[in-house]
A and B are shown apart, each in its own frame.
Chain A
Amino acid sequence: MIEVEIISGRTIDQGKTVEEKLSEEYFKAVSYCEINETDFKKLGLKEGDRVKVKTEFGEVVVFAKIGELPRGVIFIPMGPYANQVISDDTDGTGMPRFKGVKGTVVKTEEDVKSVRELLGVE
């Protein structure tokens, strides 16, 4: 397990599929996290493995990828997966903290949920 700060944000693939949220392409575009290469190896991961990301606001299982990030920072594309773990506290501004939320990452054998399963509706 490692301790991380979680960043979410736009990617080109998220943008391209944002109007097709129930599609496989959107699922692929938003259900992963990027991890620094050293951290990735430390967690014993190989490309395509899954990790569980946990914060005080929730937890989510996503696919793991190596990304160009500093150690201790992970990136999840903006969308339903990131939103399971980001901070819902808006400090009175209306704006949740979508970036810079402290949490942990651990390798897992659990499956990545579909967007329908995440939402809890079928």
Chain B
Amino acid sequence: MDAVCTFCGNVCDDVEFDVNTQKGKRFCALGLAKFREKERIKSPMIDGKEASYEEAIEKAADILVSSKKPLLYGWASTVNEAIRYGVLLTEKVRGVYDQCASVCHAPGTLAVIEEGIPGGSLGAIKNRADVVIFWGSNPLEAHPRHPTRYSVMAKGFLINDRKDRKVIVVDVRKTKSAKMADKFIQIKPGYDYAIISALRALVKGEDIEANEVGGVPKEELAELADMMKNAKYGVILYGLGVTQSRGRDRNIENAVKLIQLLNRYARWIIWPMRGHYNVVGAGEVPAWEVGYQYAIDFSRGYPRFSPAEFSAVEMLLRRDCDAMLVVSSDPAAHFPRRAVEHMKNIPVIQIDPFPNMTTLLSNVVIPSAVAGIEAEGWAYRMDGIPLRVKKLVDSPYWSDEKILKEMLRIVEEKLEG
């Protein structure tokens, strides 16, 4: 059956999957692993005991309504319809909405607030880009079909074949992606900002005093600056190497400034390599509902945005939340150790198809249908293009959308009653 893949931000809409034989076509290894059957959370649970959906949702609503400041976190691996109910639910219970980008690409959001984003679509990259720079991103392991569909081997209107593209990888280690590049530039960890600053100077035609910056010889930087200036259509596709290391949001801000400068000489865009299939939606949906993308506090009855206070890791480190709802995410596995400690002290509700480390800490567990296989809905691809993910098979599990809609209804009843 024609399917739309719900693993990474590529949201590949050209794949096929047969649920009976468990075989797929055109999938990458990640997508195929996602679509294959695996162990599920078998039933809703309250304190380790099996319960009905109704009982578990009632208990979850009780926890949310009786807490002073619940944190509602996750959202990147579900559809826009479910996220929308999540935002409305957070507002009702006067909690805090935060999403996976908080520990992923949110620094880019901060940079975009300051500088805007000179961006473009994956289609534009496929059709036009003759210089492609992967900076701190490793598509062959995180977005395996990105190079073939859009950015390296893909044919486009103005690109006949691989030879029409110059591909550069900038990274601290020689990743699998570095090996497919025409040029690999190895930098020292944490020197992205300094290197981008040096490139800005060189593109402007200024000299730099240092012989090397962040482990890269001046001649190599000058060569790169020259290549950038002479591109017909260039793109920097940046990954978490840039946002999760020293400088974080400032690295992206500096990179955007470099792109703005390059646009005086050539056509350039910059774009983040988004990880989960709908992590863009986890930011866009609250943005169209309440104006902000993450770290949104509703405790005063209106939305306030402040990552220093309301991002999930900061909230947990400061022990500033007294309950947590986790939807389609696993913070117990992916947050720093000290942040996870507080999750053990508070009631945790989980909505997810699969048992994970957060399940082990959760007081209420509500299994859900897998979007793209057992449930449908809208998702934003990494370049902000909305695609409808499909339902291929009936399932006994409720969709995230149904669970959250029901939870919101019961919360409203309890608040009114």
B308 CB to nearest A CB, Å: 4
Complex Cα distance, B190 from A116, in Å, reads 32
A114 CB to nearest B CB, Å: 11
Contact A9 B138 (CB under 8 A): yes
A113 CB to nearest B CB, Å: 12
With A94-B98, A94-B307 already in contact, the answer to whether A57 and B338 are too (CB < 8 A) is: yes
Which chain B residues border A11 with CB–CB below 8 Å? 141
Q: Which secondary structure dominates chain A's binding surface?
A: loop
Interface 1/0s, chain B 106-139, versus A by CB < 8 A?
1100100000000000000000000000000010
Most buried by A among B29, B102, B172: B172
- The verdict on B264 contacting chain A, using a C-beta distance below 8 Å, is no
**Among A46-54, A70-78, A104-112, the stretch in contact with B:** A70-78
Which chain B residues border A83 with CB–CB below 8 Å? 333-337, 340
Complex Cα distance, B193 from A65, in Å, reads 30
Which chain B residues border A86 with CB–CB below 8 Å? 336
**Chain A interface size, under 10 / 10 to 19 / 20 to 34 / 35 or more:** 35 or more
In the complex, which residue of chain A has the Cβ closest to the Cβ of B178? A68
Complex Cα distance, B243 from A9, in Å, reads 12
A25 CB to nearest B CB, Å: 10
- The verdict on B67 contacting chain A, using a C-beta distance below 8 Å, is no
Complex Cα distance, B336 from A8, in Å, reads 12
A10 CB to nearest B CB, Å: 4
In the complex, which residue of chain B has the Cβ closest to the Cβ of A34? B173
With A21-B357, A97-B246, A121-B360 already in contact, the answer to whether A57 and B336 are too (CB < 8 A) is: yes
Interface 1/0s, chain B 211-240, versus A by CB < 8 A?
000000000000000000000000000001
Partner of A99, one of B106, B244, B354: B244
Partner of B317, one of A17, A88, A93: A88
- The verdict on B313 contacting chain A, using a C-beta distance below 8 Å, is yes
With A15-B141, A94-B314, A95-B107 already in contact, the answer to whether A21 and B338 are too (CB < 8 A) is: no
Interface 1/0s, chain B 327-370, versus A by CB < 8 A?
00010111111111000100000000111110111000000000
- The verdict on B144 contacting chain A, using a C-beta distance below 8 Å, is yes
Which chain B residues border A12 with CB–CB below 8 Å? 29-30, 140-141, 144, 176
B234 CB to nearest A CB, Å: 25
Which chain A residues border B138 with CB–CB below 8 Å? 9-10
Complex Cα distance, B246 from A87, in Å, reads 11
Complex Cα distance, B354 from A56, in Å, reads 33
> Interface size (B, Cβ < 8 Å)?
65
Complex Cα distance, B172 from A8, in Å, reads 11
Partner of B103, one of A17, A70, A95: A95
In the complex, which residue of chain B has the Cβ closest to the Cβ of A5? B189
Contact A87 B141 (CB under 8 A): no
Which chain A residues border B102 with CB–CB below 8 Å? 94-95
With A83-B335, A121-B361 already in contact, the answer to whether A22 and B356 are too (CB < 8 A) is: yes
Contact B106 A93 (CB under 8 A): yes
- The verdict on B258 contacting chain A, using a C-beta distance below 8 Å, is no
**Among B33-41, B51-59, B147-155, the stretch in contact with A:** B33-41
Which chain B residues border A94 with CB–CB below 8 Å? 98, 102-103, 106, 294-295, 307-308, 311-314
- The verdict on A7 contacting chain B, using a C-beta distance below 8 Å, is yes
Contact B337 A68 (CB under 8 A): no
Contact A16 B29 (CB under 8 A): yes
Contact A19 B38 (CB under 8 A): yes
A18 CB to nearest B CB, Å: 8
Contact A70 B172 (CB under 8 A): yes
- The verdict on B23 contacting chain A, using a C-beta distance below 8 Å, is no
- The verdict on B249 contacting chain A, using a C-beta distance below 8 Å, is yes
Contacts beyond the supplied A22-B355, A94-B103: 14 A-B pairs with Cβ under 8 Å: A5-B189, A12-B29, A12-B140, A12-B141, A22-B356, A67-B173, A69-B173, A70-B172, A70-B173, A80-B332, A88-B337, A94-B313, A95-B104, A119-B340
Closest 5 CB pairs of A and B: A94-B311, A92-B308, A88-B336, A100-B189, A94-B307
Residues of B within 8 A of A (CB): 7-8, 29-30, 33-34, 38-39, 98, 102-104, 106-107, 110, 138, 140-142, 144, 172-174, 176, 186, 188-190, 240-241, 243-246, 248-249, 275, 294-295, 307-308, 311-314, 317, 330, 332-340, 344, 353-357, 359-361
Question: Can you list 25 A-B contacts with CB-CB less than 8 angstroms, sorted by A residue number?
Answer: A10-B138, A15-B141, A19-B356, A21-B357, A22-B360, A70-B188, A75-B173, A79-B334, A80-B334, A84-B337, A87-B336, A92-B307, A93-B308, A95-B103, A95-B104, A96-B335, A97-B246, A98-B103, A98-B240, A98-B244, A98-B245, A99-B172, A99-B245, A100-B189, A119-B340
